[in-house]
Amino acid sequence: MPEIHRTAVVEPGARLGDTVRVGPFCHIGAEVELGEGVELLSHVAVAGRTAVGEGTRIFPFASIGHRPQDLKYKGEPSRLVIGRDNIIREHVTMNPGTTGGGMVTTIGDGGLFMVGVHIAHDCRIGNQVIMANNATLGGHVVVGDFAVLGGLAAVHQFVRVGQHAMIGGVTGVERDVIPYGSVLGDRARLVGLNIVGMQRRGFSRDEIQAMRTAYQVLFGGDNGTFAERLDAVEGRFPEIRPVREMLDFIRAESSRGLTQPKPDGG
């Protein structure tokens, strides 16, 4: 049976797993679903059609599932779906979807969302994502698995951030970030690959070397057009998975363009 503090409010209709723990002064809406082992520490507000996966912990003053900050939203029955084993720290806000983005915002498994993180409507967040304090996503942003966003980073709506990418602190991201890429700056510039992240996650020396070479061909030279350089990299490394992922990401449809290095290579 769920453990619910006497000061918490759980509206009729909410579905709570038997091992859920709800701390003081929390509020849980009528259409909320909390999986087994979910813990709301205190002063957490969970609203709307929100599902929270098993083992996720939500810290004080987080606002989860309240209506999106979108003037076009008219109360449509959109959803927020949060995966399992996430850590959602103080003052985090996560909004549900809208009709313009498929009616759902999704958060993967095993993420860490530090103090003051904001995830706007219709975002799609992968597994094992880390967002440091006050990092912010506009609407419709896609973040791949294992991406890391530094403190106070801000990502423009509709931008895609590839898997294993690293976004530096206080960085404004206006264009897509390639998988395994590292970006920095007031207005983000591509500064290389997240080699440390690749090493920590067990990528082989051959895979890392192939990525170094592929990156240099794509972004470090001026031989041919960018499309021709893409074809050259594909022909050279047809079986290297991270290279394949980077090429597929670049070729996929996007409305935001691609974050590039500075013209001088910096």
CA 60 to CA 88: how far, in whole Å?
A: 9
Catalytic residue among 118, 121, 140, 164: 121
Q: Which contiguous run of DSSP H or E holds residue 82?
A: strand 79-82
pLDDT (average), residues 8-20: 98
Domain boundary among 100, 119, 140: 140
What's the pLDDT at 263? Answer: 78
Are 43 and 116 contained in the same domain?
yes
Checking if the pLDDT of 99 tops 60, the result is yes
Are 243 and 118 contained in the same domain?
no
Percent of the chain with pLDDT over 90: 97
Checking if the pLDDT of 209 tops 60, the result is yes
Are 123 and 55 contained in the same domain?
yes
Checking if the pLDDT of 202 tops 70, the result is yes
CA 85 to CA 189: how far, in whole Å?
A: 32
Range of the domain at 72: 3-140
Let me know how long the chain is.
266
Task: Please state the φ and ψ torsions of residue 154, each to the nearest 5 degrees.
Answer: -135, 125
Catalytic residue among 35, 97, 122, 164: 122
Domain boundary among 116, 140, 164: 140
Task: Please state the φ and ψ torsions of residue 77, each to the nearest 5 degrees.
Answer: -80, 60
For 84-113, give one letter per residue: b (16+ CB within 10 A) or e: bbbbbbbbbbbbbbbeebebbbbbbbbbeb
**Assigned domain for 257 exists:** no
Distant-in-sequence, close-in-space partners of 26: CB < 8 Å, separation ≥ 6? 5, 8, 9, 40, 42, 43, 44, 45, 46
Q: Amino acid identity, residue 41?
A: L
Write the DSSP assignment of 129-186 as a string of letters: -EE-TT-EE-TT-EE-TT-EE-TT-EE-TT-EE-TT-EE-TT-EE-SBB-TTEEEETT
Interstrand relation of 104-107 and 3-4 (parallel, antiparallel or unpaired): unpaired
Measuring CA to CA, which residue among 117, 106, 48 is closest to residue 78?
A: 48
Percent of the chain with pLDDT over 70: 99
What's the pLDDT at 265? Answer: 52
Assess whether 121 carries a catalytic annotation. Answer: yes
Are 231 and 112 contained in the same domain?
no
pLDDT class for 262, splitting at 50, 70, 90?
confident
- Alpha-carbon separation of residue 129 from 9, 52, 87, 108, 219 (angstroms): 31, 16, 11, 8, 26
234-246 tens-digit pLDDT? 999 999 999 999 9
132-191 tens-digit pLDDT? 999 999 999 999 999 999 999 999 999 999 999 999 999 999 999 999 999 999 999 999
Are 135 and 215 contained in the same domain?
no
pLDDT class for 125, splitting at 50, 70, 90?
very high
**CATH code assigned at 217:** 1.20.1180
- For the CA atoms of 175, 179, 184, 189, the dihedral, rounded to the nearest 10 degrees, stands at -50
**Torsion sign over Cα 7, 8, 10, 15:** negative
Task: Please state the φ and ψ torsions of residue 27, each to the nearest 5 degrees.
Answer: -130, 125
**Assigned domain for 187 exists:** no
Domain count of the fold of the chain: 2
50 is written with which tokens? 């929100």
Assess whether 122 carries a catalytic annotation. Answer: yes
pLDDT (average), residues 111-135: 98
**CA 115 centroid distance within chain:** 15
Catalytic residue among 126, 139, 144, 150: 139
Mean pLDDT of all residues belonging to the chain: 97
32-65 tens-digit pLDDT? 999 999 999 999 999 999 999 999 999 999 999 9
What's the pLDDT at 223? Answer: 83
What's the pLDDT at 221? Answer: 74
